Homo-oligomer: A and B are copies of this chain.
Amino acid sequence: MAPLTNRRWVLARDVKGKTTEGDFRRADTRVDDAQLKDGEVMLKQLLISFDPAQRTWLTDSSYVTKIKVGEVMRAISLSRVVASKHPDWQAGDLVRCLGGWQDYLIISPDEVKKADAIADPKERLTRQSERLAKVVLPPGVPMELGISLFGVTGLTAYVGLVKVGRVKEGQTVLVSAAAGATGSVVGQLAKAYGAKTVVGIAGGPEKCKFLVETLGFDAAIDYKSQETKRKGLRRCIMERCPEGVDLFFDNVGGETLEAGISCLREFGTVVLCGAIGEYQKPSKEIAGIRNYFELVKKSARVEGFLVPRFASSFGEAVDELGRLSKSGQIHQAHDIQAGFESLPKTFIRLFEGRNTGKLLCKL
């Protein structure tokens, strides 16, 4: 292979508040498989994943090391091994990794394995996330499912709903950001596991229609609607869940979280997955959760989770997601943008809530 251009988007400046395209700049380099040392593999990136948590990676307060100015924007990706000097990896292998916004990368799988020994917990988790995972999809399954339903998205939905939330038959389940990658799987999983009522919160009539008509949610709440503005989110939830909510899977935080807490039943649960509504706010604008005493009154819990900490459940999760996908009980929607140039724009698209299903960019 001749030396190739490696297009890269790096962080141009520290990001405050809403992300803009100007927060990133191009810093292309060249890459050559002749550079490959023993133990290394070279990957060509195929699909880049967009995840709300990436916004926290741009801050000091994340669970991983902050992305520094000048570094390639970090992102989960689906890649193909194009050259390998490591016995466990062959050219042609499909892999999931933390490849970032670039065309190619060269990594040493054995070096990454040493991440477990890193003392600093943020840095350890960051480096552990760089591990390559071989993606083997059954025949006929489109490649993008390797980075959505069978990737972090599906694992997050499964671990959150089943392991953290301990969903039970007959429950009333509420999901926020329900038309998003994770939320849409959570709602369908809840139905598959026998939830009596599954209600999704999403922005706009199209998303709400999609939840009910395509994904089989029992009801949807359009948080941008006049109805919600007039009645308030709490009342909209209670009208659709008159006996209250057993399990609230929250991806939004802030006022949505407060409304969900206020609708909990006795011994109810909030699974705290993310807070996409809050990530772009300056910290002084972040309103606290004032009604936490409801948790005492309801003997209820709020439990957060980071999916990498539940690796021991991944095998079970993939088996279950595979079974339910095959039987048609779970459908993963995708919003696939195209082109390397679109990466910053697509990132902004995520926080504007314009995607339905898993947001990806095909390089």
Interface residues of A (CB under 8 A from B): 61-63, 121, 253, 257-258, 266-267, 272-275, 278, 283, 286-290, 292-306, 309-310
Contacts and interface: CB of A to CB of B under 8 A. Distances in A.
Nearest to A303: B301
Among all A-B residue pairs, the 3 with the closest Cβ atoms: A288-B288, A295-B304, A296-B304
Contacts of A283: 290
Contact of A293 (B275, B290, B293, B296): B275
A63 to B, nearest CB: 4
A305 B299 contact: yes
Given A286-B290, A287-B290, A295-B303, 12 more contacts: A61-B293, A273-B296, A275-B292, A283-B290, A288-B288, A289-B290, A295-B302, A295-B304, A297-B304, A299-B305, A300-B304, A301-B301
A289 B287 CA distance: 8
A304 B309 contact: no
A292 B253 contact: yes
A299 B306 contact: yes
A302 B289 CA distance: 12
A275 B296 contact: yes
Contact of A288 (B62, B287, B305): B287
A300 B303 CA distance: 6
22 contacts: A63-B296, A63-B297, A253-B292, A253-B293, A258-B288, A273-B296, A275-B292, A275-B293, A278-B293, A283-B290, A287-B288, A288-B288, A288-B290, A288-B292, A295-B304, A296-B305, A297-B304, A299-B303, A300-B303, A301-B303, A301-B304, A303-B303
Contact of A296 (B272, B288, B294, B295): B272
Among A121, A305, A310: residue with most chain B CB under 10 A: A305
A290 B278 CA distance: 11
Contacts of A304: 292-301
Contacts of A299: 303-306, 309-310
A89 B286 CA distance: 57
Nearest to A121: B266
A308 to B, nearest CB: 9
A272 B299 CA distance: 9
A301 B300 CA distance: 10
Contacts of A305: 296, 299
A274 B295 CA distance: 10
Contacts of A273: 296
A294 B290 CA distance: 16
Contacts of A272: 292-293, 295-296
Contacts of A61: 293
Contacts of A298: 304
B289 A292 contact: yes
A289 B302 CA distance: 12
A266 B303 contact: no
Contacts of A278: 293
A283 B292 CA distance: 13
A267 B278 CA distance: 23
Nearest to A295: B304
A306 B301 contact: no
Contacts of A290: 283, 286-289
Contacts of A300: 303-304
A247 to B, nearest CB: 14
